[in-house]
């Protein structure tokens, strides 16, 4: 993985919801990315002609993209349209929006034809207390060591730390030490027999947030434990399962 160009000062991860696609192989998919209007860090640091706003894959390659009709700097309206990106099906896939390059005087957008586009999501929140850190410092036990308690009616977000899993460069390239990145993720919720149930999570709500992956867990039977799994696949083809224990307890007063 490489930083696209030294001229671009910042980038933001985008989560592409490809969960509902047919087949779990990579295939060309169109994507739309709506830029949030309340993202001051972005709007206060881009050119008014949008020439310094581009879409790049996690390998550092510029993607074919355009700006949807109606883009307006003054009103903070911008939707990026990506043409035929090779997207891993039945997964949540990562790309990046690069921005803040005051000297980018040419337009890198191209003509695109967009149909049946997948949605790309930019998340502006920060992780909460429900964080799984140091995921590879695992003792030789059969049960995940980090545990969270929820009610069967709760839908909660768990944040998996991923930065310390990704390899860095020995020397800078384009001014950065970044090397490896997440390509895509999958989510599982396993019972004691190892059986997955998609009713216990919402994979399409997964987001990439500054060194974390956010996963939404829900449901489950009272007085039952589950292993919530965030599986990351990297640009260097590492596959790493990060796990925590979800303990479902519908807490009631004693009789």
At 178-214, the pLDDT tens digits run 999 999 999 999 999 999 999 999 999 999 998 999 9
Burial (Cβ within 10 Å: 0-12, 13-18, ≥19) of residue 23: exposed
Q: Is 4 domain-assigned?
A: no
Q: Is 1 domain-assigned?
A: no
User: What is residue 246's predicted lDDT score, i.e. its pLDDT?
Assistant: 98
Of 75, 100, 121, which residue sits at a domain end?
Answer: 121
Contact 124, 36 (CB under 8 A): yes
Q: Is 255 domain-assigned?
A: no
Same domain, yes or no: 38 and 92: yes
CA pair distance 75, 77, nearest whole angstrom: 6
Q: Is 22 domain-assigned?
A: yes
Tell me, what CATH number does 159's domain have?
Answer: 2.60.40
Same domain, yes or no: 93 and 175: no
Other beta carbons within 10 angstroms of residue 157's beta carbon come to 17
Stated pTM of the model: 0.94
CA-wise closest residue to 235 among 187, 179, 186: 179
User: What is residue 202's predicted lDDT score, i.e. its pLDDT?
Assistant: 98
Q: Is 154 domain-assigned?
A: yes
Q: Is 92 domain-assigned?
A: yes
Same domain, yes or no: 138 and 198: yes
CA-wise closest residue to 83 among 51, 59, 118: 118
User: What is residue 23's predicted lDDT score, i.e. its pLDDT?
Assistant: 87
Same domain, yes or no: 221 and 147: yes
Tell me how far the alpha carbon of residue 147 is from its chain's centroid. Answer: 23
Q: Is 126 domain-assigned?
A: no
User: What is residue 120's predicted lDDT score, i.e. its pLDDT?
Assistant: 98
CA pair distance 238, 78, nearest whole angstrom: 34
Task: Tell whether the model's pLDDT for residue 138 goes beyond 80.
Answer: no
Same domain, yes or no: 49 and 19: yes
Same domain, yes or no: 199 and 235: yes
Per-residue pLDDT tens for 26-62? Answer: 999 999 999 999 999 999 999 999 999 999 999 999 9
Same domain, yes or no: 231 and 148: yes
Tell me how far the alpha carbon of residue 181 is from its chain's centroid. Answer: 11
> What's the number of domains the chain is made of?
2
Q: Is 174 domain-assigned?
A: yes
Same domain, yes or no: 116 and 39: yes
Task: Tell whether the model's pLDDT for residue 1 goes beyond 80.
Answer: no
Confidence tier at 133 by pLDDT (50, 70, 90)? confident
Of 121, 149, 177, which residue sits at a domain end?
Answer: 121
Task: Tell whether the model's pLDDT for residue 93 goes beyond 80.
Answer: yes
Residues in the chain: 255
Contact 39, 124 (CB under 8 A): yes
Q: Which domain holds residue 111?
A: 10-121
Of 66, 96, 121, which residue sits at a domain end?
Answer: 121
CA pair distance 179, 171, nearest whole angstrom: 10
Same domain, yes or no: 104 and 16: yes
Same domain, yes or no: 107 and 138: no
Same domain, yes or no: 172 and 139: yes
Listing DSSP states for the chain in one string gives: ---S-TT--EEEEEEEE-TTSSSSSEEEEEEEEEPPTT-HHHHTSS-TT-TT-EEE-TTSPBP-EEEPTT-BTTTTB-EEEEEEEEEETTSEEEEEEEE--TT--S---------SPEEEE-------S-EE-STT---S-SS-S-EEEE-TT-EEEEEEE-GGGS-EEEEEETTEEE---EEEEEEEEE-TT--B-GGGEEEEEEEEETTEEEEEEE---TTEEEEEEEEEEETT--EEEEEEEEEE-------
Same domain, yes or no: 138 and 219: yes
């Amino acid at each position: 993985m490489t930083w696209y160009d030294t001229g671009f000062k910042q980038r933001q991860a985008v989560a592409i919801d490809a969960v509902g696609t047919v087949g779990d192989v990579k295939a060309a998919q169109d994507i739309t990315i709506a830029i949030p209007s309340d993202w001051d860090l972005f709007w206060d640091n881009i050119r008014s002609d949008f020439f310094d706003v581009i879409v790049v894959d996690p390998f550092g390659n510029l993607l074919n993209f355009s700006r949807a009709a109606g883009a307006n700097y003054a009103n903070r309206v911008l939707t990026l349209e990506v043409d035929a990106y090779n997207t891993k099906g039945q997964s949540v896939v990562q790309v990046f929006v690069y921005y803040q390059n005051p000297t980018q005087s040419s337009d890198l957008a191209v003509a695109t034809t967009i149909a049946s586009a997948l949605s790309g999501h930019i998340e502006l929140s920060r992780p909460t207390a429900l964080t799984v850190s140091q995921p590879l410092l695992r003792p030789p036990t059969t049960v995940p060591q980090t545990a969270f308690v929820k009610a069967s009616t709760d839908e909660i977000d768990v944040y998996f730390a991923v930065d310390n899993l990704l390899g860095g460069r020995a020397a800078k390239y384009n001014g950065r030490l970044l090397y490896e990145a997440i390509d895509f993720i999958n989510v599982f919720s396993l019972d004691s027999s190892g059986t997955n149930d998609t009713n216990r999570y919402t994979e399409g709500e997964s987001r990439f947030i500054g060194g974390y992956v956010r996963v939404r867990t829900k449901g489950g039977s009272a007085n039952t434990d589950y292993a919530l799994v965030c599986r990351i696949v990297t640009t260097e083809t590492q596959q790493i399962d990060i796990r925590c224990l979800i303990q479902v307890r519908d807490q009631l007063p004693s009789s």
